[in-house]
Structure 1
Amino acid sequence: MEIRDDYKFLRIKDAFKALHLHVNLIGVIVELGFHTGSDCSCTLKIVDPWHSGSGLPVKFIARTIRALPRVESIGDIVLLSRVKIVLVNGKITALCNEATSSFALFNGKLDEEFIPYQLSPKFQMREHDKNFLSNLREWMITYNFEDGSCCFTPLKDIKEGEYSNLSCLIAHISKDDKDRWYIFVWDGTEMPPCNIVVKSERLPLCVEPEMLPTHVLREFPTYGSVLRIIVEKVSEKQAIHCLQPGQHVKFLNLFFQVNMGLWNATFTPSTKMQYILSREMQVFIPQREKLSSRWNPIARCISPSHSGITGVAHEDAPFVTLMDILTYRNVTAKFRCVVRFVQVRPRDVRNFHDVNGKFKLLAILEDATARIKASLYADEGDKFFGCDPSDEEALAKKLKKLLGGEEMEEVPRNPPWVQCCLFSFYRNKMDQWGSRRFRIFDTWINAS
């Protein structure tokens, strides 16, 4: 790829030496910031074949948000005309001001046409520009962007109230009724279990208002945690169109927090997205192979450790995750899993039995992949606690052990990991999936 003087495109490495000059640049977008509504500006970072560093920052300033670049995908190409090389916060930056500069955005894929999908009013395309676009697209096939200044934290090591960088796969993107967006991301590791500090409210099953439909969950990996990134600000939403399920993306400066015992992350004013070479992407494929046993719906065997607080009547059954259970192909089945009991209803052991003396309890169970509701009913409930129904002290003691503390206490609870057997059933034959429920069976709390 030759740069000829009559084209007047400056190599990015030379732009770092052109302080206060107006120059023309062409580069591949490897990092994308978000629009800031306060001053109608946004930033991105570009590279070319002669600059192997972290890239050149480009700041765009316009009179309206609509005049700012709307990058469709990290890895696309931008042509910049008459941008000024300046210092911004001590860093060499190309300033693209709507009043004096212009730009055009092109798809970065090799076989695409040479037609910009966005260009500013003053931009003038030249025939020779196509040669540069073609050569950059060819170069991108083998290019691997590495910004050595960034360290990435796996989901298993995130901490509440801290900012971290995350390298992950996009599993799903959705929007709720209040125009709030959720980006579901996964890196194959398990997020740390959270202490439960809510004492009165009913805990939700997920961060989003309603659990995703089964056909969507079946596209998720069934092991490792899926983090929800919540997107609420208009400026942040405008960057979501760059993301697609299956993409491998690096997020810089996400803020991690816990609500109702569930992890989520949010964008910050300094959050950016970085480019990942497509050939490096890994594809997650949920494991749903069938074995002959009625107990063994999943081919791979998960062997998480548990506290030993509970016992089950089917020690030979393999462990599965709650996501395996939620997405299992049959409505009815039996499973063995390792979970935490994060909440039960009713909370008062005196109300565990109805007026007819029948045991009724609804629990919220969780593991690293999901939360579900599961009931304990009739004889299975009495078997689970192994107490005389009138022995309220013994019931309360075992419940406290199961929950990791008393639910009404102010101190945070850390429920232990316990094994249990579940079966799924339906309540309406005409709507079997819509009425699918879970029940605990053949499980008991071991004697102290």
Structure 2
Amino acid sequence: MEIRDDYKFLRVEDAFKALHLNISLIGVIVELDFPTASDCSCTLKIIDPWHSGSGLPVKLIARANRSLPRVESIGDVIFLSSVKIVLVSRKITALCNETSSSFALFNGEHGEGFVPYQSSPKFRIRDQDKSFLSNLREWMITYKFDDGSCCFTSLKDIKEGEHLNLNCQIVHVSKDDKDRCYIFVWDGTEMPPCSFVAKSERLPLCVEPEMMLPTHVLRTFPTFGSVLRIIVENVTEKQAIQCLQPGQHVKFLNLFLQVNMGLWSATFSPSTKMQYTPRREMQSFSPQRMCREKFSSRWNPITRCISSPSHSGITGVAHEDAPFVTLMDILTYSNVTAKFRCVVRFIQVFPRDVRNFHDLNGKFKLLAILEDATARIHASLYADEGDKFFGCDPSDEEALIKKLNKLLGGDRMNEAPRNPPWVQCCLFSYYRNKNDQWGSRRFRIFDTWINAK
């Protein structure tokens, strides 16, 4: 298709009145659906300074998925030429067909250049187009998008089995060896703790798709609030999330929430969309705004938001003067070896049978999975520290079982759901291999005990 030099842009509000006409448009992308593999199409919404509604739907159809727009960021600008205004599911929609229409995508940031990062083969930008593009970029600096924010749910209010809209920050995007993609997102709040059913297999950690994320990646994670994993398996969904980068603020519409092995996760539904987040919201959505209480200690100088989280009192520690830190603080601490005090839940222990807590030499050995709102870690109880922790005769199986069940929030062998209590404990980190200190970093419980009452 030849792109004529005399085409004119129609305002978005006027496009709603141009049914069955072929027109050209320029607009800011404020919402993005995921491509449909069956018909090689995708849908997005655009706005401009003269349209204050939710946006004009634009459906783009191509011969192959690779020809569809690959939007790098919600808020980018799209040029559309010779699109037809039609009705799709009774909604006015601009139809961009590869055979008769063309498009071009530009970075939406103010001050960027005039070269599209993706365009149809015959698209050519004119001088007057550059003026339109500059004006749109400048307008978007102060524009407030009416997205119905009252319909968004915080992570602290999520419920299993429900669909919700989430306003969040992208923390990390990764892929495992089974080609599943994971989007780690955060909004500064803490997800509700989950109940557990006794399992013989080891529970997964929060920050491991298939294996633990490396330390340099974990250090980009926030150290307070919960990080939710969005699991992406569909091929077309993977193509759509290529525009997501750590640090971006995105609104997801119609995510499905579920719990598996005590871990919250989300998946895309057929109606899931990504929506624009204005810069004004991005600037206010920051740890500095949410976290104002700070202190440091002689134990480890970690800046904290919460100085005294509540716990059940089931355990006692020998270092009451030490500050509380989160497990993500511990995972991302700058030194390999350090001591910490935290409030956690014991969600699983190995071995499960108290008769196997001591080895053939009579030495105590136990591995626990600890959890707080930010992460899960493995931590060991070893030798005298293990005996101190339970505070009873190693041969008194009944006393060990009673204390263990109290710690786990129910019978460790029972299939009934249990809700482990929050307890305080002291941890220290160490390494097993001097030549690979970070790779061999481990955690051990010390100077902690289960109270008699």
Question: How high is the TM-score relative to the length of structure 2?
Answer: 0.93
Give the conservation status (yes or no) of the 8 Å contact 2:430–2:442. yes
Q: Which residue of the other structure, out of 358, 363, 383, is the alignment partner of 1:353?
A: 358
User: Aligned letter for 1:305?
Assistant: S
Deviates more, 1:32-41 or 1:289-298: 289-298
Q: Which moved more, 1:166-175 or 1:429-438?
A: 429-438
Deviation at 1:434, TM superposition (A): 1.8
Residue in structure 2 matched with residue 176 of structure 1 by the alignment: 176
Q: Match of 2:264?
A: 263
Alpha-carbon distance in structure 2 between the residues aligned to 1:243 and 1:316:
42
Q: CA deviation at 1:295?
A: 5.5
When the two chains are superposed, the root-mean-square deviation of aligned CA atoms in Å is 2.1
Alpha-carbon distance in 2 for matches of 1:151, 1:290: 36
CA distance 1:292–1:155, shift in 2 (3 Å): closer
Please list, as runs of the form range in 1=range in 2, the aligned pairs for 1:8-407 lying within 5 A after superposition.
Answer: 8-121=8-121, 123-148=123-148, 151-206=151-206, 207-281=208-282, 282-284=285-287, 291=296, 293-294=298-299, 297-298=302-303, 300-407=305-412
Partner residue, 1:3: none
Distance (Å, rounded) in 1 between the aligned partners of 2:44 and 2:300: 52
8 Å Cα contact 2:354/2:397 also seen in 1: yes
Contact 1:199 1:409 in 2 (8 A): no
2:413 is the alignment partner of 1:408: yes
**How big is the shift at 1:123?**
4.0
Aligned to 2:3: none
Residue number in structure 1 paired with 2:428: 423
SS of corresponding position for 2:322: coil
Deviation at 1:393, TM superposition (A): 0.9
Structure 2: gaps (5+ residues): 1-5
**One-letter amino acid of the structure 1 residue matched with residue 161 of structure 2:** G
Amino acid at match of 1:237: K
Measure, in 2, the Cα distance between the counterparts of 1:211 and 1:278.
Answer: 33
What's the secondary structure of 2:269's corresponding residue? coil
Instruction: Tell me if 1:438 matches 2:443.
Output: yes
Distance in 1, matches of 2:448 and 2:292, equals 26
CA contact (8 A) 2:72 2:242 kept: yes
Counterpart of 2:52 in 1: which secondary structure? coil
CA contact (8 A) 1:301 1:318 kept: no
| SS of equivalent residue, structure 1 residue 269 | strand
How many residue pairs align between the two structures?
443
Distance 2:278 2:21 in 1: 32
Name the amino acid aligned to 2:355.
R
CA–CA separation in structure 1 for the residues paired with 2:294 and 2:33? 41
- Whole-angstrom distance in 1 between the partners of 2:348 and 2:240: 37
Q: Which amino acid aligns with 2:322?
A: A
- Whether the 8 Å CA contact 2:428–2:444 is kept in 1: the answer is yes
- State the alpha-carbon separation in 1 of the partners of residues 343 and 69 from structure 2: 48
Letter in 2 for 1:260: M
Query: For residues 305 and 427 of structure 1, do their structure 2 counterparts lie closer, same or farther at Cα, with a shift above 3 Å needed?
Result: same
Q: Percent identity?
A: 79
Distance apart, 1:237 and its partner CA:
1.3
SS of the counterpart of 2:445?
A: strand
Deviation at 1:279, TM superposition (A): 4.2
Q: Distance in 1 between matches of 2:320 and 2:150?
A: 45
3-state secondary structure, aligned to 1:362: strand
SS in 1 for 2:142: coil
Q: Tell me which amino acid in the other structure corresponds to 1:262.
A: L
Deviations 1:254-288 (A, max 9, x none): 11111111111112221111111234313447999
CA distance change for structure 1 residues 284 and 245 in 2, over 3 Å: closer, same or farther? farther
